[in-house]
Chains A and B, each alone.
Chain A
Amino acid sequence: MSKDLKSKKYSKEQYLKWYEEMLLYRKFEEKASASYIQQKIRGFCHLYIGQEAIVAGYETVLGKGDSVITTYRDHCQPIGRGTDPKIIMAELFGKTSGISKGRGGSMHMFDKEKGFFGGHGIVGGHIPLGAGIAFAEKYKGTKNVNICLMGDGAVRQGAFHEALNMAMTWKLPSIFVIENNMYAMGTSVERTSNVTELFKLGHAYEMPSFAVNGMSVEDCADAFEEAVERARNGDGPTLLEIRTYRYKGHSMSDPAKYRTKEELNSYKDRDPIASVLSTINENNYASEDELKAIESKIKQTIEECVEFAEAGDFPQAGDIYDGIYAQKDYPFIKEI
């Protein structure tokens, strides 16, 4: 679709919403990065900067009963679902006021109420879970769908192939989303397989499978619209390979020496937030003051996130036994 057509399909309100959402994701991650450097956040910390159009794209079409599951790169998906960013930041800081009560950390955000089934740390391990969430929706007879996000590295795991096969055979309401940012840590997609057009992997299971430009939120939203409709109608899963880029290293400790500055810049030149902003400007969807207001609102939100996270308490040492079993009086082995 040409840019003009796209701009016509989506309303002014939609563009402003996208701008605000994606800018919030980015500013949130920038603050997480700064807080990591200040050692407020510890452990592994993977940022979503550059990939924002994917979450903004599916949230354009997702409803309340729908669900999302993802990897350890999981700060922005719950925010997209409507989780208060304050409690995501508090989780990063390891506070009991965090979404996982300070137990999960950066890689393990969960928000059951909002339909966010978590941040999972074992590459590929959560893909069957995504299919299982969809299985339960079908079983219960709802029209809800599941979005299952994964990296390009994850598609080389057996779990991916097993899950796709069953999801297709059983026509589960799943949308499998490969966030192809071209690298799994330091390993480029080409170095892991002869099949580098990852959407083609779905063809092995006769699954409707498409490549999508992940630097365009319109393209993402279009692709999700079609896939979600297919799933809701009971016509089964879709595989989307969304071609995107992570601007930062794999995690905070990766200097990303395996790729060139030119490559990075070629994506930054197509930045999804900048391109939404230029559509807004070209069409006079907002005045400079209105845009400033959005930006300062986000700035304020981020400041509140940090204040809230700082103000929270760390778990108490004795809390380590909480929330492991549903059984309240489980007899743990307790010795010296």
Chain B
Amino acid sequence: MRVIQFREALREAMVEEMRNDEDIFIMGEEVAEYNGAYKVTQGMLDEFGDKRVIDTPIAENGFTGIAIGAAMNGLRPIVEFMTFNFSLVAIDQIINGAAKVNLMSGGQFNMPIVFRGPTASAGQLGAQHSQAFENWYANTPGLKVVVPSTPADAKGLLKAAIRDNDPVIFMESEQMYGDKAEVPEGEYIIPLGVADIKRKGDDVTIVTFGKIYHRVAKAAEALAAEGIEVEIVDLRTVRPIDYATVIESVKKTNRLVIVEEAWPLASISTEIAYKVQREAFDDLDAPIQRVTMRDVPMGYGANMVEETLPNEGRIIEAVKTVSYKKG
């Protein structure tokens, strides 16, 4: 199978959909003439012109609202946030607007719109540029939230998101854009809300999603060398959550670790742990453990970043704790 970059997979998804549907356009900062701050939209201005690939001023609240209004009036916008840190300038429009118009209008208005861009940390970028807001958006009924971890998933999920008639938050990572992996030729769709078992194992289930999956995969390799076989459930979508796949895996392994990049309080891991204790209490052989970003804003120094993020050491420790193989 051919190997392409994560950013190319995203671009293919958008380009294929835009060729099929004139109502789709993309807007955001530096998406057109600069070819994207992270080159996701490279070449799209050339193909689709400035009617459909639109550079905006730095005015997130305004252009997000404009896109939502356009979606109410029949178009299918894709909004690129340079990073989701900046989506906070626009979060009123997303939470009070995009997520609610369908209900408030008694179903008269659909909201076929995608908000996409990188989330979470990307090196030593400091406190305001290193935040994972997956759980913030996932908390809001009316939205769907997708957080892919591989190029192949990214393409199929983004195509599904663009075709969806509800608002989808689609969260990527600066640190994954250059990742290369196999991506099937041609068009394919991965439905939203379906988790993927990225590694099979009988001993411990790890539930994760997004960029941090790659640290989990490495930890699983190391654990396999020690004889612990981890099953990795990549949620891919954190609203809705594919609870069934999680529960099924836990019923097999009887042990659960959840790994996510966001802060711990009221997070996706909190939610999963709640659901698993309710649905599979008798199947658990150990209390559930989780590894999250430390409960702090991100400092700048290299060792602060390493200490704050979930790392392989902490993931391995959590797996050993639920396996009672610690120390």
Contact = CB atoms under 8 A, between A and B. Distances in A.
Given A43-B125, A121-B126, A103 B301 contact: yes
Contact of B300 (A105, A159, A192, A193): A105
A121 B129 contact: yes
Contact of A102 (B57, B264, B289, B299): B299
Contact of A43 (B34, B85, B297, B300): B300
B223 to A, nearest CB: 14
Would you call the interface of chain A mostly helix, strand, loop, or mixed? loop
A258 interface: yes
A317 B126 contact: no
Interface in A307-336: 314-321, 324, 332-336
Given A122-B89, A187-B29, A258-B33, A193 B301 contact: no
B304 A103 contact: yes
Nearest to A107: B126
- Among A158, A159, A186, A334, max chain B CB count under 10 A is at A186
Interface stretch (B58-66, B105-113, B198-206, B227-235): B58-66
Contacts, number: 144
Given A258-B34, A335-B264, A156 B57 contact: yes
A75 interface: no
A186 to B, nearest CB: 4
Nearest to B61: A158
Interface residues of B, number: 46
Interface residues of A, number: 47
B212 to A, nearest CB: 14
Interface stretch (B15-23, B146-154, B314-322): B314-322
B307 interface: yes
A166 interface: no
Contacts of A44: 125-126, 129
Contacts of A315: 299, 301, 303-304
A108 interface: yes
Contacts of A317: 303-304, 306-307
Given A121-B128, A122-B85, A157-B59, A103 B290 contact: no
Residue picked from A122, A187, A193, A320, most chain B C-beta under 10 Å: A320
A106 B295 CA distance: 23
Interface string B278-299: 0000000000011110111101
A332 B60 CA distance: 32
A192 B63 CA distance: 12
A194 to B, nearest CB: 11
B42 interface: no
B34 A186 contact: yes
A107 B128 contact: yes
Interface string A175-214: 0000000001111000111000000000000000000000
A120 B128 contact: yes
Contacts of B34: 185-187, 258
B57 A193 contact: yes
A42 interface: yes
A80 interface: no
B302 A186 contact: no
A191 B56 CA distance: 8
Interface in B200-220: none
B124 to A, nearest CB: 4
Interface of B: 29-30, 33-34, 37, 55, 57-62, 85-86, 88-89, 123-129, 264-265, 289-292, 294-297, 299-304, 306-308, 314, 317-318, 321
The 9 closest A-B pairs by CB, nearest first: A105-B300, A156-B57, A186-B34, A121-B128, A94-B301, A192-B57, A43-B124, A42-B124, A317-B307
7 contacts: A100-B300, A121-B128, A156-B57, A156-B62, A187-B34, A187-B55, A258-B34
